[in-house]
Amino acid sequence: MKEIWTSLASLPAVLAFCQTLLQVMFPPELRFASLHFLNRALNCFSSYCCYDINEIVGVNTNDADDLYNAVQLYLSSSASASASASGSRLSLTRAGNSSATNFGLSNNDCIDDVFDGVAVQWEHVVMQRQSQTFLGPPLPDEKRWFTLRIRKRDKGLILDSYLDHIRNKANDIRRKNQERLLYTISCGGSFESRGHPWESVPFKHPSTFDTLAMDPKRKTAIMDDLRDFRDGQAFYQRTGRAWKRCYLLYGPPGTGKSSMIAAMANFLDYDIYDLKLAEVPSNSKLQKLLMKTSSKSIIVIEDIDCSVNLSNMSKAPHTVAPRRYYDPSAPNASRRGEDGNSNTIALSGLLTDGLWSCCLCERIFVFTTSHIEKLDPALIQSGLMDMHISMTYCSYPALKILLRNYLGSEAEDLGEAVASELREAVEKAKMTPADISKVLIKNWRNKERAVSELLEVLKGRANGVEEEEQEKRVLGSPREGSHSEDNPSEEPDDDEAELLI
């Protein structure tokens, strides 16, 4: 027995000697090469192949282009159900600017997924980092990556399409969970390539198409157009057009142009960029500003008739040429004019499929104006704006929406006689939805008083409109052709959203 214990006591010394001998005869480089060769030999006989997707740290990466984060978000959408069935352990995360809690794989755990009938397996690997480099910022103590395990025969069938599916799904999850932002030009921002010309605040406007005071048929047409744009990437690629769309909202103040923009953003889950052209010094700066915008966004240019002088050049041939938005005759928008002014703002690259408009894909441009007659005809001609949306005075269908929003009741619930009076009065009064909202919000707790006061205001405004029209008839009709010149905004039909091209 004593001899056995003596032999066991000498065994560690023998093992230590063998380890030292192996380290001397087989240096780390040789051992690593041997293991690598052994793995490659085994993989030749294996029916599976593995791909590692590493977490990128220590550099300025764009989350939208980080495949590791995309896989993490994608797996979070199905991890809860899959883990419940397999008994896997989950981790919970919630970003600071996110409204949802994400599920994820715990360290060194696996999850199965199926894409186009092909089964794959994901593993989340976490290892302690061996050493820290002295160059650059310190790295995390742990090294993380996802390993995708897939059959070799299925690799060529689904690998590329599967990764594209993961990116698209992750972008949708990120857009859904993340707060929408409202951007404006930063006062101290830089227009240079590394600068940040935009600053943002959370966008929490409550306007939706359900609360928007507009004829339901027109709203449906606009929503269908927005939905076709959002899902139309394949169509725009097939037709060779830039994936963008331009809308012109025109109508008197208070008709809901800003509410329409907010409803568009909430409907599409897009961010909003408030672009004030008066703050843009030149066309080159405008291009840099637009290149700093993100996809899935709405770029808004409000009151385009007031931002800069849009008068027709032909009306003032001897004066200094004003800054114009669109100059189809100019081959180069940034060239100097005859007056030596180089600060020309041209939107031709935005409204048409110019060379650099392809860099602004998946973006919507919305222009608003209260005086469409003041706009340059070249800006609103057919083919430049994809859709003209007339924001008109409140109609009876729009009034019914306002009654539902503020009083919580339908117009028919007020009685047939009251509903008939409201229908007749609102069509004659020519009041904007904003004016009617002011009347309703004062007495929103008392339905009868709110309706009574609204009827009184509508009838008073209708009588005023009739008196004005009677005075115009007494003074005589305007000269032939002057009506269309002074009021060109009445030419488009107020009851339609005109789709141009």
Enumerate residues 6+ apart whose C-beta is below 8 A from 36. none
Token pair 């995708």 is found at 148
* Joined tokens for residue 205: 């406007």
**Backbone φ, ψ for residue 316 (5° rounding):** -140, 70
| CA separation for the pair 264, 364 (Å, rounded) | 10
Q: Residue 500: pLDDT above 70?
A: no
Q: Residue 259: pLDDT above 90?
A: yes
SS (H, E, C) 249-263: EECCCCCCHHHHHHH
- Domain harbouring 377, CATH code: 3.40.50.300
Q: 92 and 240, same structural domain? A: no
Token pair 């409000």 is found at 302
Residue 136 counted as domain residue: yes
Please compute the mean of the pLDDT values over residues 68-87 and round it to a whole number: 68
Query: Is 285:191 a contact under the CB 8 Å cutoff?
Result: yes
pLDDT digits over 427-484, tens only?
989 999 999 999 999 989 998 999 999 999 999 988 887 777 777 777 765 544 444 4
Residue 138 counted as domain residue: yes
- The whole-chain average pLDDT of the chain stands at 77
Q: Is 67 exposed, middle or buried (0-12, 13-18, 19+ CB in 10 A)?
A: middle
pLDDT digits over 274-306, tens only?
998 888 887 788 888 888 888 889 999 998 877
The four Cα atoms 257, 263, 267, 272 give a dihedral, to 10 degrees, of: 70
Residue 328 counted as domain residue: no
Q: 400 and 363, same structural domain? A: no
Enumerate residues 6+ apart whose C-beta is below 8 A from 281. 343
| CA separation for the pair 65, 295 (Å, rounded) | 13
Q: 201 and 137, same structural domain? A: no
Side-chain half-sphere exposure of 417, counting CA atoms within 13 A: 1
**Backbone φ, ψ for residue 416 (5° rounding):** -65, -40
pLDDT at 314: 36
Q: 355 and 254, same structural domain? A: yes
* Joined tokens for residue 401: 């929406």
Residue 71 counted as domain residue: yes
Question: Is the torsion defined by CA of 316, 319, 322, 327 positive or negative?
Answer: positive
* Joined tokens for residue 197: 């010309």
Q: Residue 412: pLDDT above 70?
A: yes
Q: 286 and 229, same structural domain? A: yes
pLDDT at 58: 52
pLDDT at 273: 95
Q: Residue 338: pLDDT above 60?
A: no
- What is the total count of domains within the chain? 3
What percent of the chain has a predicted confidence (pLDDT) above 90? 26
Query: Is 298:362 a contact under the CB 8 Å cutoff?
Result: no
- Please tell me which residue, 328 or 44, carries the higher pLDDT value: 44
The four Cα atoms 421, 424, 429, 431 give a dihedral, to 10 degrees, of: 80
Give the total residue count for the chain: 501
Three-class SS state of 105: strand
pLDDT category at 142 given cuts 50, 70, 90 is: confident
Q: Residue 222: pLDDT above 60?
A: yes
Query: Is 103:80 a contact under the CB 8 Å cutoff?
Result: yes
Residue 5 counted as domain residue: no
Give all strands (DSSP E) within 370-450, no chain letters: 387-390
pTM over 0.95? The answer is no
Q: 193 and 163, same structural domain? A: no
Q: 401 and 383, same structural domain? A: no
Closest by CA to 365, choosing from 342, 382, 345, 349, is 349
* Joined tokens for residue 373: 């007659």
Q: 193 and 293, same structural domain? A: yes
| CA separation for the pair 459, 421 (Å, rounded) | 9
| CA separation for the pair 233, 252 (Å, rounded) | 34
| CA separation for the pair 284, 335 (Å, rounded) | 11
Q: 360 and 457, same structural domain? A: no
Q: 264 and 249, same structural domain? A: yes
Helix (H) or strand (E) holding 40: helix 28-45
Residue 481 counted as domain residue: no
Q: 144 and 237, same structural domain? A: no
pLDDT at 187: 77
Going by their DSSP bridges, the two strands 118-128 and 142-151 should be labelled as antiparallel
Please compute the mean of the pLDDT values over residues 106-113 and round it to a whole number: 80
Enumerate residues 6+ apart whose C-beta is below 8 A from 469. none
pLDDT category at 340 given cuts 50, 70, 90 is: very low
Tell me which of 162, 177, 192 is where a domain ends.
177
Query: Is 491:456 a contact under the CB 8 Å cutoff?
Result: no
Q: 408 and 386, same structural domain? A: no
Tell me which of 177, 200, 224 is where a domain ends.
177
Residue 89 counted as domain residue: yes
Closest by CA to 426, choosing from 458, 449, 451, 397, is 458
Tell me which of 124, 147, 177 is where a domain ends.
177
Residue 192 counted as domain residue: yes
Enumerate residues 6+ apart whose C-beta is below 8 A from 491. 484
Question: Residue 463 is part of which domain span?
Answer: 396-476
